[in-house]
Amino acid sequence: MAKRYFSSSDEEDLATDSKHAPLKSKTKRKPTGHWSQGLLKSMENPDTVVKSDEKCVMINDMYPKARHHYLILPRENISGISSLGKQNLELLHHLLKFGQDYVKTEHSNDDTLIPDYPQFKYGYHAIPSMNRLHMHVISCDFDSPSLKNKKHWNSFTTDFFIDAARLIKMVEEKGRVVIDKEYYESLLKKNLSCHVCRREQRNMPTLKSHIRTHFKK
């Protein structure tokens, strides 16, 4: 059963509204109801939470882009990577270690799917869609029905995905994370390229079947 960011009643309300109100009176949603605020609800949803401690909460990504895909969010309200400063360095280290420890205990016995390639990666999207700082913990198979388009692909397989260790280094050296929006947006539009052998692929279905050729049978 899929976990949802919004209660179905939210959507029914809107549907009812458009049916019975021809003038389409703008139903002003509370900010918390907007899709971009969904992670906060997921953090509070026991069905979605995988593990937590006093500083952070780990949840299952609702639309996993690989066989294993988690998000780790600090309990502290930090809107995103652009809000980070040196005062958050200890937290950033904690989030990374939290994810690595989880993978070590829960996935160390997993069969190696792609030989000579990292099994998991840890990091942040340069331009995230969802509010509240969240670190991705994702297995590198990228074998998932929810991975559907070029943006999905490039957001995990290009430098748009900022490795957690690299992000920490940026904060250590510059005191914050500077995002060149145009540059990172351009990465999302790059041609599809296999993350393992870097060969370009014609389209998504081709790519998705190609990456399977790297899997250990």
Partner DNA sequence: GTTCTAGAAC
Catalytic residues: 134
Count other Cβ atoms within 10 Å, centred on residue 65: 21
- Binding of DNA at residue 31 (CB under 7 A)? no
- Binding of DNA at residue 209 (CB under 7 A)? no
Rule CB under 7 A: choose which of 16, 79, 149, 213 binds DNA.
149
Give me the least distance between CB of 108 and DNA, in Å please: 28
Rule CB under 7 A: choose which of 63, 76, 86, 183 binds DNA.
63
Count other Cβ atoms within 10 Å, centred on residue 25: 9
- Span interacting with DNA, options 70-78, 81-89, 91-99, 146-154, rule CB under 7 A: 146-154
- Span interacting with DNA, options 52-60, 73-81, 150-158, 179-187, rule CB under 7 A: 150-158
Give me the least distance between CB of 122 and DNA, in Å please: 17
Residue 33 backbone phi and psi in degrees, to 5: -85, -15
- CA-nearest of 129, 203, 126 to 163 is 126
Radius of gyration of the chain (CA): 19
The amino acid present at 52, given as its one-letter code, is S
Give me the least distance between CB of 74 and DNA, in Å please: 19
Scanning the chain, the segments in alpha helix (DSSP H) are 8-20, 38-44, 89-107, 150-157, 164-174, 181-188, 204-212
Give me the least distance between CB of 105 and DNA, in Å please: 27
The amino acid present at 39, given as its one-letter code, is L
- Binding of DNA at residue 150 (CB under 7 A)? yes
Rule CB under 7 A: choose which of 48, 131, 139, 155 binds DNA.
155
Total of chain residues touching DNA, rule CB under 7 A? 20
- Binding of DNA at residue 129 (CB under 7 A)? yes
Give me the least distance between CB of 138 and DNA, in Å please: 12
Q: Are 81 and 167 spatial neighbours (Cβ–Cβ below 8 Å)?
A: yes
Q: Are 168 and 91 spatial neighbours (Cβ–Cβ below 8 Å)?
A: no
Collapsed DSSP state (helix, strand, coil) of residue 110: coil
- Binding of DNA at residue 105 (CB under 7 A)? no
CA–CA separation, 213 and 210 (whole Å): 5
Please report, as ranges, the residues that interact with DNA according to CB under 7 A: 24, 26, 35-36, 63, 125, 129-130, 146, 148-152, 155, 192, 203-206
